[in-house]
Structures are given as structure tokens and as C-alpha cells.
């Protein structure tokens, strides 16, 4: 049965993965991180990713037309050298969690990585 460490190891096994973090976006806390951080500090990166997540979750534009309980599935940032995939995790108790994967653009495949990250997020919660 996977725990946080197995989930993050699984994310780092995705082709092109540079870093993976499990972030509580109610507080900006990194519950766990693996790999190199884009800023050199996983804790600071988690807090900044939280700002992005919060902006999306709290905007009517991205959520108004969606299912009320879990309006967003993921946020993808495409940059020149890398991708950032931020996957929302649903838990039975109230928690606001995302799985953040930093992916090398040349080595990684965005569609495959997104698919795999979704499976990892589900396994983490469903066992």
C-alpha cells in the first residue's frame, strides 16, 4: 500500500521528472519532496505553488462552470525548458492537497506524465 514516499518516488520515476512535491495548499506546507527544487528550497517552492493554486481555485472563471466539490483536476504551466504539473488530490476528509511535478521539457512527455501523475494521486488515497 503506497504512502507519501512511494507516491513521490513513483512521480520521480516518470521520464523527465526533476522534482516532485506533495503540497498542502491550505497552508503552503510541503508534506514531502524529492529531487531538486527549482528555487533550491522545496519549502519556498511549495509556498509559491500554493499561491498559484489558490489563485486558480478562487477564481470564478476557472471554477464556476465546474463540479462544485472538485472543480479543478490539474494546473499545467508550460515553460521554455520545463513543464509544471500540479495535480489536485481528493481525500475523504477535508484536505487541500496537490502533487506538484517539475518535468524537463525535452526528456519528458506531458500527456504521459499527466496520466501517470493522476494514477499516483489516486493510488495515494485509494491504496
Partner 1 sequence: MSATAEPTATSTPAEPVGRPDPVVPRTPAEAVALLSDRRATGALHGPLGSLYLVDGLVTAAESPRAPGLADLLTGCGRTTPGDWFELLRLHGPHGRVGAELVDRRLLTRGELELGHLGTLFDAAYFVLADRAGGTWRFEPDARHWLGAVAAVDPARLHREAERRRRLLDRIWPWPQLDTAPVRPVEHHRRPSHRPPGRRRCELLDHADGRRTPADLARLLGRSGFGVTADVRRLAAAGLLDAPHHAAPAPGQAAQTPAQAPQAPARAPQVPAGAAEVPPRPPGAGGAKGRPGGLHRRIPGATLRGAPATDPTGAPARPPAPTRSDRPPTPAAAHPPAVPDPDIALLTRVRDLLEARL
Q: Does 2 bind partner 1 (CB under 8 A)?
A: yes
Sequential DSSP letters for 46-107? HHHHHHHHHHHHT-HHHHTTS-SSS---EEEEE-SSEEEEEEEE--SSS--EEEEEEEETTT
Rounded distance between C-alpha atoms, residue 50 and residue 53, angstroms: 5
29 vs 110, which CB is nearer to partner 1?
29
**Minimal distance, residue 20 CB to partner 1, in Å:** 14
Q: Which stretch binds partner 1 (CB under 8 A): 73-81, 91-99, 100-108, 110-118?
A: 91-99
**Minimal distance, residue 63 CB to partner 1, in Å:** 8
Rounded distance between C-alpha atoms, residue 89 and residue 118, angstroms: 9
Q: Which stretch binds partner 1 (CB under 8 A): 9-17, 25-33, 72-80, 105-113?
A: 25-33
Rounded distance between C-alpha atoms, residue 3 and residue 93, angstroms: 16
Residue among 76, 95, 112, 119 that touches partner 1 (CB under 8 A): 95
Q: Does 60 bind partner 1 (CB under 8 A)?
A: yes
Q: How far from each other are the two terminal CA atoms of the chain, in whole angstroms?
A: 5
Q: Which stretch binds partner 1 (CB under 8 A): 10-18, 56-64, 101-109, 110-118?
A: 56-64
Q: Does 94 bind partner 1 (CB under 8 A)?
A: yes
Amino acid at each position: 500500500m503506497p504512502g507519501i514516499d512511494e507516491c513521490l518516488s513513483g512521480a520521480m520515476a516518470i521520464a523527465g521528472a526533476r522534482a516532485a512535491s506533495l503540497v498542502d495548499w491550505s497552508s503552503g506546507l510541503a508534506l514531502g519532496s524529492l529531487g531538486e527544487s527549482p528555487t533550491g528550497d522545496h519549502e519556498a517552492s511549495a509556498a509559491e505553488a500554493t499561491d498559484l493554486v489558490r489563485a486558480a481555485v478562487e477564481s470564478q472563471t476557472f471554477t464556476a462552470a465546474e463540479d462544485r466539490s472538485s472543480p479543478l483536476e490539474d494546473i499545467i504551466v508550460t515553460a521554455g525548458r520545463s513543464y509544471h504539473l500540479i495535480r489536485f488530490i481528493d481525500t475523504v476528509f477535508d484536505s487541500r492537497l496537490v502533487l506538484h511535478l517539475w518535468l524537463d521539457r525535452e526528456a519528458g512527455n506531458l500527456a504521459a506524465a499527466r496520466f501517470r501523475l493522476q494514477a499516483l494521486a489516486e493510488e495515494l488515497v485509494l491504496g
